[in-house]
A and B are shown apart, each in its own frame.
Chain A
């Protein structure tokens, strides 16, 4: 029995190692061929990309999406879940002709597996700025060979031109919440930091980088005038009343004046084609 196992397993390994060599040659050949992309079945692993695709009138071609692709709401694509836990198999099951994602989101394993499967993978290096959004739109449109993207860029520029400056910049603190036990603030380098600055305000947590846990002391030292949250985040705390119960919140200016602003998560932090509208809305809500 033992011997049989050993022989069987050895045979498998020998076979697999041989096969590996053959594979290498085929993938390198196809890397160069894959420049022409068919766009009839698209999988989008990023909310901003999905929005862009929809704005370019190809929403109907999207067959798969990740959990952040919440807009447009009537999208008829299979939800593959969180981008980090998506597997190559579930993507391949949708028989995509192209997969869109951002370099930050797609993990190296998936990247490697899709490359080997000869599925064209378009990775966009998303920057959280107006230019970044424009670049993303241009990159997606170019890949799709669409030239009707200029109005999208113009819309962003026009909206941004309407944003006025505040006389006195309000200090805004973004709190990411998944229930009261899990609170993070957005420091610099986050999309929310960029949004707050674009709206003409000041990020109260700018001294921190990335998302950092919220502490009562930090709340007091930063003393924000406004607290900014995602709609769902505030819901998870049980509304404004729930938020005020969190230690330290009630003593801040924002807490005293009950100045809490909420917006849809993807709208506020997605940096897609709606970024201009989102900045204007945030600016108006901060007034």
Chain B
């Protein structure tokens, strides 16, 4: 088993590297020199040519953002599925993403007066903190709704997600109605997501959050495995269940909020990636957590590269691509579920 895991890890890593190098070279803009030459000229001369600008300021941050976003969404999904003991728990389905979007949209519409005064980095921090609060509030609400006596009712969980998403939809719709066209554009962006606005500041911020978050989550494999036996059983094994739950909820909200704040709603990655891995490794979270990060990064990077290149010079919203890849998997989950019910 260990060998198998290592093989998967290495092969995902190789695929990620290949995708990364391919993504560097693909895009609306064709480079005149090789990537290596461009980077070395830039660091020698310290001034941007058109080539180096596209590469260093647009493409590389975007690729890194795709990798971080994919990894964050996938590990968040995996942790949630472990926490709720159900493969349908993913950030978008239980409404966390919508909560984050709502708060980000509110910040944009009502905070536009203040936002202009802040330097770029703090603007991003404010936006992600607000999205984090939105994510945390929804997460807390959904969790309280769905859990009683230490058991999670998956139906209530999903329905609370539906309710939250509907509410968010209504409020964002209302914001759209009252906002000026300029603000409106900023809101509509959230619904399908895009990594086009990535820059180094955003990448830095997301990286810090994802780094801290994933280090904490990666250590939760054992506890999530124990949780599959049931909460009491896990507690008897000596795990502090309540503390773990709180920690997972906060970290997932933080990661999802931060990612959503910059890239909008990108659905299905948090649902599909852990699900695919579960086919191979069953539900061993020690393996699922790190592998989901890698596979999430791969899936997201490929999706973003396709979105950048398929309709050059325009761009296909990435939400469309992840939905196309994710929806069939989602349907297959439901079919499996139905079979189990019989």
By a beta-carbon cutoff of 8 Å, the part of chain A in contact with chain B is 1-2, 6, 9-10, 12-13, 16-17, 19-20, 22-23, 26, 64, 78, 80-82, 84-90, 92-93, 95, 104, 107-109, 112-113, 116-118, 210
A93 touches B200 (CB 8 A): no
Q: Is the CB of A90 within 8 A of B312?
A: yes
Q: A13-B203, A93-B29, A113-B57 are in contact. List 6 more A-B contacts (CB 8 A).
A: A13-B208, A22-B46, A84-B189, A86-B314, A104-B182, A113-B199
Stretch of B47-55, B141-149, B154-162, B321-329 lying at the A interface: B47-55
Report which B residues bind A (CB closer than 8 A).
9, 27-30, 46-48, 50, 53-54, 56-59, 61, 64, 181-182, 185-186, 188-189, 196-197, 199-201, 203-204, 207-208, 211, 215, 218, 290, 308, 311-315, 317
Residues of B close to A86: CB separation below 8 A: 313-314
- State whether A20 and B200 are in contact (beta carbons under 8 Å apart), knowing that A13-B207, A84-B185, A89-B58 are contacts in the complex: yes
> Would you call A89 and B59 a contact (CB within 8 A)?
yes
Q: Which residues of A contact B9 (CB under 8 A)?
A: 1
The 8 Å CB contact of A89, one of B27, B185, B317, is B27
How close is B104's CB to chain A, nearest CB, in angstroms? 14
B48 touches A90 (CB 8 A): no
List residues of chain A with CB within 8 A of the CB of B315. Answer: 81, 85, 87, 90
Partner of B313, one of A6, A10, A93: A93
Contact of B28 among A16, A19, A87, A116 (CB under 8 A): A87
Contact for A17 among B27, B54, B204, B308, CB less than 8 A: B204
- Residues on A with beta carbons closer than 8 Å to the beta carbon of B215: 6
Q: Which residues of A contact B53 (CB under 8 A)?
A: 92, 116-118
B29 near A117 with CB under 8 A, answer no
Supply 8 A–B pairs (Cβ within 8 Å), ascending by A.
A2-B290, A6-B211, A13-B203, A13-B204, A64-B313, A81-B311, A90-B313, A210-B181
Known: A2-B290, A16-B203. A80 touches B313 (CB 8 A): yes
B207 contacts A9, C-beta separation under 8 Å: yes
Find out whether the CB atom of A113 lies under 8 angstroms from the CB atom of B58: yes
Q: Are B28 and A93 in contact (CB under 8 A)?
A: yes
Interface SS of A by simple majority:
helix
Q: Which residues of B contact A13 (CB under 8 A)?
A: 203-204, 207-208
**What's the minimum C-beta distance from A125 to chain B, rounded to whole angstroms?**
12
Contact A89:B29 (CB < 8 A) given known A22-B46, A116-B57: yes
Question: Quick check: A90 and B314 within 8 Å, CB to CB?
Answer: yes
- Complex: A245 Cα to B220 Cα, angstroms: 61
Question: Sorted from nearest, which 10 A-B pairs have the closest CB atoms?
Answer: A90-B313, A81-B314, A109-B197, A90-B28, A93-B29, A93-B28, A16-B200, A89-B28, A117-B53, A87-B196
Please tell me if the beta carbons of B48 and A118 are within 8 angstroms of each other in the complex. Answer: yes
Chain A residues with CB under 8 A of B189: 84, 107
Nearest CB in chain A to that of B51: its residue: A92
- Whole-angstrom CA separation of A37 from B53 in the bound complex: 20
B residues near A17, Cβ cutoff 8 Å = 200, 204
Q: Taking CB as reference atom, which chain A residue is nearest B59?
A: A89
- Closest B residue by C-beta to A211: B181
User: Which A residues lie within 8 Å of B59 (CB)?
Assistant: 89
CA distance A63 to B310 in the complex (A): 21
Q: Which residues of B contact A118 (CB under 8 A)?
A: 48, 53
A61 shortest CB reach to chain B, Å:
18
Q: When the two chains form their complex, are residues B314 and A85 in contact, meaning their CB atoms are under 8 A apart?
A: yes
Cross-chain contact B30 with A93 (CB below 8 angstroms):
yes
- Contact assessment for A9 and B211 in the assembled complex, using a CB-CB cutoff below 8 Å: yes
Nearest CB in chain A: distance from B12 CB, A? 11
A80 → chain B, closest Cβ, in Å? 5
Query: Taking CB as reference atom, which chain B residue is nearest A105?
Result: B185
Chain A residue contacts of B200, Cβ below 8 A:
16-17, 19-20
A26 to B48, CA, bound (A): 9
**Inside 8 A of B311's CB, which chain A residues have their CB?**
81
A80 touching B57 in the complex, CB below 8 Å, given contacts A90-B28, A93-B30, A109-B196: no
Nearest A residue (CB) for B57:
A116
A253 to B314, CA, bound (A): 43
Q: Which residue of B lies closest to A210 (CB)?
A: B181
Expressed in whole angstroms, the Cα–Cα distance for A12 and B204 within the complex equals 9
Find the A residue at minimum CB distance from B13.
A1
**Please, how many angstroms separate the alpha-carbon atoms of A113 and B59 in the complex?**
12
